[in-house]
Amino acid sequence: MLRILTLACRFLLVFVCALSIGISSLNFNSLAQDKPRRPLPKPPSGARGFEQTGRDASSRLIAAGATRGPLKPIAPYEGLAYNPKPFFAWAAQPGAASYHLTLRDGAESSSPIVYETDVKTAQFAYPADAPALTPGKLYSWRVSTAGVMERKQGAVATFFVLAGEDAAQIKAALEKAKLTAPKNASQRLAQARIFEDFGVWYDALGIGSALVNENPNDAEVKAYYDSLIKRLRDEETKAVSQSSTSALELWQQLLPLLAAQKEGPARLVINSNRAAARSLYKELLFEAFASLLYDGPPLQGSEQARKLLAESDDENGALEAKFNEWSKERKPGVGFNNASDGIEQILCLAEIASLRFNEKDPGKDAPPGSPRELTERALKLSEANGIELAVASFSGSLSFYALREKRLDEVGPPLDRAEAIWTKWNEQVGLFQAPLIRAYASYAVENWKEAATFFGRAAELWRRATP
């Protein structure tokens, strides 16, 4: 038992403390379609949602945290615009003197650039003298901060310029309300509410932002703007929950098929739910990366599942190629790019945190921060991208830091959160860590009996995790 516990403790110090930092950055190329679909229909009563990528909000993960974090678009992944001169807004980057906005004709990273410009504030109204946008087309945009040494890019957002019947419905609603040409702030606010009811994010936000800027002390205007942002965030939170659930459900379907070596049926299951497949791939990519980084055993069945998921989707395949490149050298800057969004940034932070924890130099281009600070950043990114296994890992890490820094009252809550996720996914290494941390917490307050119980439980789970 002592040998097992020695190995266990050693593994904890590397695996937990080194911080597994958690993406899913979505590569939006594979989400794009050659011909954008029509927007979702407006329900008979009530408002239409702002996100137009499908009735299943888990079909995109950028939703999670889209309004949070530097450079993130304050927009759904695929929104709507009635006015072909849309209003863009994003989360400000602290210390940024300016931003570079790029607008493309299509959702591909290789799509032609329609317009680009430098902007000094974190919002931009498409100018009248810029190239006209075509109704019925899908466009994409993102912002970046200038800098030769460290250029940061925000996430991609797309929008569909309404045309035909969809535009006609909104025009009719505006005409019926006599709001085609509002004459005062009250009428403009009423016009914004119509756009909101139809789920036309860019027009609703553009009017709301303008009214707030013009009337900063108007309580009704401010309440409307705040309600818009809250509604988008509520949609984002729902999307994260649905995404995590769909990934776990797919994982539970795949496990028995892979155990029975039924690769054909497993591929069919994967291809039947591409959104869940992308979500699950990022969960398993995080697991694989952490397993190599910290020399721990992988989640049982994850290797085969991850490779099938990578073969099923170009986006997953691109990330798998980067993972293979990184795994050969396991060095910062190889394979994954810290300037990217989501999972790539998460994995880069994990590696840098691990190096700093072990008092090694991660390189001059590494972001600042202690291992604990990087863990906190990583946890937020993981929450925003709906990567549950990463959330569990970082929550466990924060629990360990609380123990290490003798903040014993703060050990329990993050560890409870982590353990709940590890239990759902049957993540044996994580489940081993939970009682081990609790054992040391009990030891710290000289509760010997409880400490012995938890140490025994940890040893038992370690044997299961490392057969």
**CA dist., res. 363 & res. 149, Å (int):** 13
Do 73 and 109 contact (CB within 8 A), yes or no?
no
**CA dist., res. 88 & res. 156, Å (int):** 12
What are 241's two structure tokens?
């929950």
Q: How many CB atoms lie within 10 A of CB 223?
A: 10
Do 319 and 310 contact (CB within 8 A), yes or no?
yes
The larger pLDDT score, comparing residue 372 to residue 23, is at: 372
Asked if pLDDT for residue 325 goes beyond 90, the answer is yes
pLDDT in tens, 72-90: 888 887 789 999 999 999 9
**CA dist., res. 324 & res. 22, Å (int):** 18
pLDDT in tens, 198-225: 888 899 999 999 999 998 899 998 998 8
- Asked which of 10-14, 377-381, 412-416, 445-449 is least confident by mean pLDDT, the reply is 10-14
Do 366 and 337 contact (CB within 8 A), yes or no?
no
What architecture is domain 29-236?
Sandwich (2.60)
- Which of helix, strand or coil describes residue 101? strand
Using pLDDT thresholds of 50, 70 and 90, give the confidence band for residue 14: very low
Question: What DSSP element (H or E) covers 104?
Answer: strand 99-104
Asked if pLDDT for residue 285 goes beyond 90, the answer is yes
Do 159 and 138 contact (CB within 8 A), yes or no?
yes
- Which of helix, strand or coil describes residue 467? coil
Using pLDDT thresholds of 50, 70 and 90, give the confidence band for residue 30: very low
Q: For a pLDDT cut of 90, what percent of the chain falls above it?
A: 43
pLDDT in tens, 111-169: 899 999 999 999 999 999 999 999 999 999 998 886 544 567 777 888 999 999 889 99
Q: How many CB atoms lie within 10 A of CB 297?
A: 12
What are 298's two structure tokens?
């992988």
- pLDDT at position 418 is 93
Pick from 32-46, 96-110, 240-254, 432-446 the range whose average pLDDT is largest: 432-446
Which single residue is written with the structure tokens 């509760």? 447
Domain ranges of the chain: 2-26+243-465, 29-236
Question: What DSSP string runs through 131-193?
Answer: PPPPTT-EEEEEEEE--SS---B---EEEEE--HHHHHHHHHHHHHTT-SS--SHHHHHHHHH
**CA dist., res. 378 & res. 394, Å (int):** 7
Do 139 and 80 contact (CB within 8 A), yes or no?
no
Write down the pTM of the prediction. Answer: 0.58
- pLDDT at position 12 is 39
Using pLDDT thresholds of 50, 70 and 90, give the confidence band for residue 41: low
Do 5 and 426 contact (CB within 8 A), yes or no?
no
Q: 26: left (phi > 0), else alpha (psi -120 to 50), else beta? A: beta
- Phi then psi for residue 148, to 5 deg, are -75, -40
Q: Which parts of 386-446 fold into alpha helices (H)?
A: 388-404, 412-425, 428-444
Do 167 and 383 contact (CB within 8 A), yes or no?
no
